[in-house]
Amino acid sequence: EFEKKSIEEAFATSIIFGFPIKETKNEKHLIDLTPFLLRDAHHVAKRLKNNNQGTYKLDKSRNVLWLENTKAFPKNVEFESLLTFVGDPKGRQIVTVAPDANSITIRQHIGFIELPDDNYSPRIFDARSGSFPMSYMDYSTPVWEPIKKQFIYRHRLHKKNPNLKLSEAVEPIVYYLDPGTPEPIRSALLDGASWWNQAFDAIGYKDAFQVKMLPPDADPLDVRYNVIQWVHRSTRGWSYGGSINDPRTGEIIKGHVSLGSLRIRQDFLIAQALMNRPFEKDDQNYQTMLELALARIRQLSAHEVGHTLGFAHNFAASTNSRASVMDYPHPKITLKKDEIDFSEAYATGIGEWDKVTVAYSYSQFDSKTNERKALNTIISKANEKGLRFISDTDARAQGGAHALAHLWDNGKSAASELNNVLKVREKAISNFSKDNIRQNEPYSVLEDVFVPLYFFHRYQTEAATKVVGGLDYNYAVKGDGQLITKVIAVKSQKEALSSVLKTLSAKTLAIPKSKLKLFPPRAYDYSRTRESFSSKTGVAFDPFSAASTSSEMTLQLLLHPERANRLIQQKSLEEKQISLKYVLNEIIDKSFKKSHSDSYLNEVQQLINVQVLQHIMNLAINDK
């Protein structure tokens, strides 16, 4: 008792709000909840200011409870408010989404949710498992044991008959799709999300994971329904897989997926750019493009649902034959008989790694089994198969160093795949023509289609860049026999650098002269957007700025200060390793020491050289 008291008094508490008591009856107090619901709980004004979108404040005369979505359900009560922020817009983002940028009206939602009963057993977190962690500090822990307690997030799941090898669940995990989703996207989302049942079947559950359409009498705000929501935006935005969890145990109470409708249009655009004259004869010849976009949306559905099941990104999966839907998949496009081939663009079904994460999180063990030992066995078997798990911090290009974990990449060798991607890009640019748009569409639309093709190599370049000054390592634990850490071999680093430097070549980045005739000044009401090429030539199309932008993408990754530091460190520990000086000399050899007989190529090279000089100078004065 005294120990509990000492812990309670050791830390601060946060009182969120105070209420005048309106009435008291039989020790029950009546309060007015309205002021609590009409406050800026999401800190919208602060977010807008921090993102340089302007200074706003709540206008109390335009705030009201929104009764349409103020509802009570058996396990949760939901309140919605209509809040209006007034102010002076500074950026472009508000203008694109609000009729009046000086007056932004949003709906804010606050829910009160009943916590589950005590019939749930938390499962211990393991950094190798691919599951999301939750943690707390237990001050009753003996000094010789870790004070930080870690568990995973997961749904409650039990077999009806634990003695059967394959049994139905007492209560299956069911996800419901938003009926506002149109076809054929609806069928694709249902299909992709349902892939997870393959993984539950592999651990002895029959139909334990199900995907259905949301019934007409069900409400997506009801926490008894896991929901896949179709969301519309006018600008870029991520899709999300989130959940409402019991903060005491990590039990997932409700999974909620938000899928952005613009994603499928962007994938369609990529396919449209890669295809050879798709609209030469028929403006309705969109089936191949649609199929590629739908294949991606199936993956996206499975990916975001995976987050709501408790699973983290696995960005090393692409090196294991696309072993997880929790990676970010780049379309795997190849050249077959000198023609672009889409047949392997996206994988189908759940991956081998996904079965490991489901087994770790949801396997049911009997009372005689040592759970920790059984969980270690699941991970050990995955290691023996060569499966790898590396997540966000290690994969992000700006700070990450892992040579096998990247976003939007393919292949065991990042350098080899970059070479392949550059060949596909070159072929697609060679094919590109007026027939990549429909009849009667402005040529400005053709320019918009060309943008994702021109930058098609971007993410594979990020992957190859990370090999330079890169590391190979695992989230190893004592006794598991995994590789702990090692520097990438000199040969691999040189191969990666050689591939990356192709993206600084004028021959790679110069848009062919014959294609420039396809891009006139922008048509009336088809102005440039953030998805367009920038221009320093006024209304005219500017191929130099396109090359400059692309070279900047490469150089800000290759000459990142943390990469430079690693190169210096690696060279100090191993004499044969490449050095920062070596990398700088190679960049200069492929830029300033390059000359072309063609004046157009020479000008493109000059702009690349300007970027090289600027990034070397930036690195020299960077305090990191």
Return contacts of 89-95, CB within 8 angstroms, 24+ apart. Answer: 89/53, 89/54, 90/52, 90/53, 90/54, 90/55, 91/51, 91/52, 91/53, 91/54, 93/51, 93/53, 93/235, 94/48, 94/53, 94/54
- Helix (H) or strand (E) segment spanning residue 385: none
| CA 241/CA 245 separation, integer angstroms | 13
pLDDT at 334: 95
DSSP state of 62: G
pLDDT at 3: 87
Query: Which pair of tokens denotes residue 393?
Result: 């911090």
Amino acid letter, residue 426: E
| CA 316/CA 323 separation, integer angstroms | 9
pLDDT at 238: 82
Is the bond preceding 184 in cis, omega lying within 30 degrees of 0? Answer: yes
Cα separations in angstroms, 246 against 120, 328, 519: 11, 28, 55
pTM of the complete model:
0.95
Q: Using one digit for the tens of pLDDT, what is the confidence trace for 537-590?
A: 999 999 999 999 999 999 999 999 999 999 999 999 999 999 999 999 999 999
pLDDT at 575: 96
Q: Using one digit for the tens of pLDDT, what is the confidence trace for 461-508?
A: 999 999 999 999 999 999 999 999 999 999 999 999 999 999 999 999
Q: Reduced to 3 states, what is the DSSP secondary structure of residue 621?
A: helix
Residues of the chain with pLDDT under 50: none
